[in-house]
Amino acid sequence: MSARPIPAVTEVNLLVAKNCTEHHTDKYEATQGDAPKLVLRRGQQFNIDIAFDQNFDAERDFLILLFYTSSRPSASRGTEITIPVWRSKSENRRRWNAWLETDGGGKVAVAVYASPDCVIGIWNMQVLVMRKEDGGSRRPEVTRHVVKDIYILFNPWIEEDMVYLGDESLREEYVMNDIGKIWRGTSTFFRPTVWNYGQFEDKILDACMTLLERSRLSYSHRGSAIQISRTISAMVNANDDNGVLIGNWSGDYSAGTAPTDWQGSVQILDQWASSGRPVMFGQCWVFAGVANTVLRALGIPARVVTNFNSAHDTDTTVTSDVHIDEKGNRLDDLNTDSIWNFHVWNEGWMARADLSKDRVYDGWQVLDATPQEKSEGVFRVGPAPVAAIKLGEVGLQYDSAFVFAEVNADKILWVHREGVDQAEAAKIDTTTIGKFISTKRPGALKPANQDREDLTSIYKPREFSAEEREAVLNALNNSNSEARYAYNLRNPEILECKVAVPEGGTNIGENFTVSAKLKNLTVTEETAQVTIQVESTYYNGTIHQMIKSSANTVTVPVGEDVEVSMEVSAAEYLGKLVDQASVMVAALVTMEGTEEVHRVEESYRVQLPEITIEVEDSLEVGKETNVVCFFTNPLDNDLTGGKFIIEGPGIEKPIEIQPGDIGGKSEARVNTTVTPKHKGSKVLLVSFSSDQLKDLDGSLAVDVL
């Protein structure tokens, strides 16, 4: 007697629209179009319909789902999962399971649950059917049907996932929002750039999966947000592993794209994934913008954070050390530490059960893809728990000491005197490092700084409070810092010295005045030699060239303030500025009859014009609409080699327009058309650069009907 035929699968309906809506993945373009992909979040039920070539009898037929990923699937590594399809629902929410929701005839409805700690990546599925009566056979007869390319991501909507974020408004911002702001500038003048994260755009999810594959991260670690986020911080830079972006702080970007020309991550990730070669060029905010895209695309809640006056500690002292001679001049061969006008990194939200059983380090973790220093032999930073950084607990994984120094290092001025072997700790500045730590506040975009959220109090206690000094001491001791002895070597100061820059800001092309302010702290009149210097700088603290310097001898009466000023004309600084129009203002002060020496510095940035965007009609899906972008050249001379770049996620891919030469004090105006692809609240972005003027941008929030 011949065996009863086994039902063969004729079709598996992945119910993409239904499942993706329920899993909050329906915005991915991969889930749309003629060949939509199933994109799921782990730890959550999804449904499939299975059709057979004959009736499926649940009493006599048995269904098995085999999920597998990687080139060599293995049950021990969590990359091969065998799931019997039971007739009733399982309540176990820690492991994979599946059950029949309806059966009968030639079609069944199956519910599947992926474990909340499963591997993140692209999975395949086999549907196996066998006869129950063959269950005891060594080689039972089965029919198989293969379904390829099921994407499984982190799930911040469920408590069982280590990236769970309980507030829906925060999930909407830190997972679902594809537009954000990144702050740049100096502590005395900063403004945001709108950035297109574009995590749902075409090809971006695949690019993120490619990043994981090229990283060679073990599949056994691909269920961990800790390990995946650490891998992202390494792979977004190209220093060790043929990653996404090559960093360049030289000012010469002729071999690629200037960092200030990028407006978003989409072009960068697409170019990298399709070419297989690193993209040129990035700086810190570009690295952070791209990393944020990858984190959000994979389902890890993430935000971009800017720290002004950010210390780069190169020697693990958790201090920022400045070395000068007895006249106040920098000793550049000793000055390996630096203070960046600003530095940008990411925070990712996740549990840190690896650090503490009571979970005090859960929450925001610092991740930094900018290649500054190596961590375990690779250029990367984090995840470092923000809660630990605030307390100065710098021994915790990963890279907490480095991040602590960025936000709360003391700046120590070391004076090297001729004939004296040991440098003198002349001044310890406890308040300069770590200012206005900024991110975008959840919600709709608002003009300028109106939607800036200040995170400074999350990273450190109030400056010079007992709690803040305790955190610094804790960090110094826990890191065995060689700078600890400096706190016992200082003499009382005769003068207090500060640098003042224009409070209202200076538009490029205008003159500005800087000054040194001196206060006599003694009971006798003092005489000081005061030199004021203004130098053009890159934003990472590297000096480009001297713009102007002046020296004066001044008498400072007892208990009084004296101000020494210097005007800098536009003619003196134009042509000497580099990226982002930053200058360093320094006051060098030496005292007659004493060994006291001061060097006080303040970064400053002249302001660039913003670009205005106007839309001539309502924006509607599929409708071509005119867009105008314009600004006024603030300089007397022509702008040459100029280009506008206009884009908008869900509206238009980047368009480059070259307007030709723009006369001095003349308006630059370009017209183009856009054709929106998706409804909803969107943003148009525009940037401009030329030979004489770079880093101009503008944005416009719009509603697409």
pLDDT digits (tens, 9 = 90+) for 71-89: 899 998 899 999 999 988 8
**If you write DSSP's letter for every residue of 139-206 in order, what string do you get?**
S--EEEEEEEEEEEE--TTSTTSTT----HHHHIIIII--EEEEEEEETTEEEEEEEE--TTSTTHHH
Is the CB of residue 323 less than 8 Å from the CB of residue 416? yes
Count, residues in the chain: 705
- What distance in Å separates the CA atoms of residue 472 and residue 399, rounded to the nearest whole number? 16
Write down the pLDDT at residue 97: 95
Question: Does 556 score more than 80 pLDDT?
Answer: yes
Q: Give the tokens for residue 107.
A: 């079609």
**What are the catalytic residues?**
343, 368
Mean pLDDT along residues 168-194: 95
pLDDT digits (tens, 9 = 90+) for 364-378: 999 999 999 999 999
Q: Secondary structure of 409-436 in the HEC alphabet?
A: CEEEEEEECCCCCCCEEEEEECCCCCEE
Q: What percent of the chain has pLDDT over 90?
A: 77
- What distance in Å separates the CA atoms of residue 115 and residue 125, rounded to the nearest whole number? 15
Backbone angles phi and psi of 54, in degrees to 5 = -155, 175
- What distance in Å separates the CA atoms of residue 670 and residue 668, rounded to the nearest whole number? 7
Q: Going by C-beta distance under 8 Å and a sequence separation of 6 or more, which residues neighbour residue 419?
A: none
Q: Give the tokens for residue 621.
A: 């899906």
Q: What angle do CA 599, 600, 602 make, to 5 degrees?
A: 145
Using 50, 70 and 90 to split pLDDT, how confident is the model at 3? Answer: low
Mean pLDDT along residues 291-318: 96
In terms of DSSP bridges, do strands 543-556 and 526-537 run parallel, antiparallel, or are they unpaired? Answer: antiparallel
Using 50, 70 and 90 to split pLDDT, how confident is the model at 490? Answer: low
In the chain, the domains with their CATH numbers are: 9-153 (2.60.40.10), 168-478 (3.90.260.10), 492-605 (2.60.40.10), 612-704 (2.60.40.10)
pTM: 0.94
- What distance in Å separates the CA atoms of residue 203 and residue 269, rounded to the nearest whole number? 9
Write down the pLDDT at residue 59: 86
Backbone angles phi and psi of 664, in degrees to 5 = -60, 135
Q: Going by C-beta distance under 8 Å and a sequence separation of 6 or more, which residues neighbour residue 335?
A: 321, 322, 323
* Residue of higher predicted confidence among 480 and 117: 117
Write down the pLDDT at residue 681: 87
Using 50, 70 and 90 to split pLDDT, how confident is the model at 138? Answer: low
In terms of DSSP bridges, do strands 279-282 and 245-247 run parallel, antiparallel, or are they unpaired? Answer: parallel
- What distance in Å separates the CA atoms of residue 102 and residue 113, rounded to the nearest whole number? 16
Using 50, 70 and 90 to split pLDDT, how confident is the model at 1? Answer: very low
Secondary structure letter of residue 607 according to DSSP:
B
Write down the pLDDT at residue 505: 84
Average pLDDT, the chain: 92
Q: What angle do CA 226, 230, 233 make, to 5 degrees?
A: 145
Mean pLDDT along residues 550-561: 91
Q: What percent of the chain has pLDDT over 70?
A: 98
CA distances to 307, 316, 375, 487 from 480, in Å: 25, 9, 18, 14
Question: Does 305 score more than 80 pLDDT?
Answer: yes
Mean pLDDT along residues 541-562: 92
Using 50, 70 and 90 to split pLDDT, how confident is the model at 135? Answer: low
In terms of DSSP bridges, do strands 378-379 and 374-375 run parallel, antiparallel, or are they unpaired? Answer: antiparallel
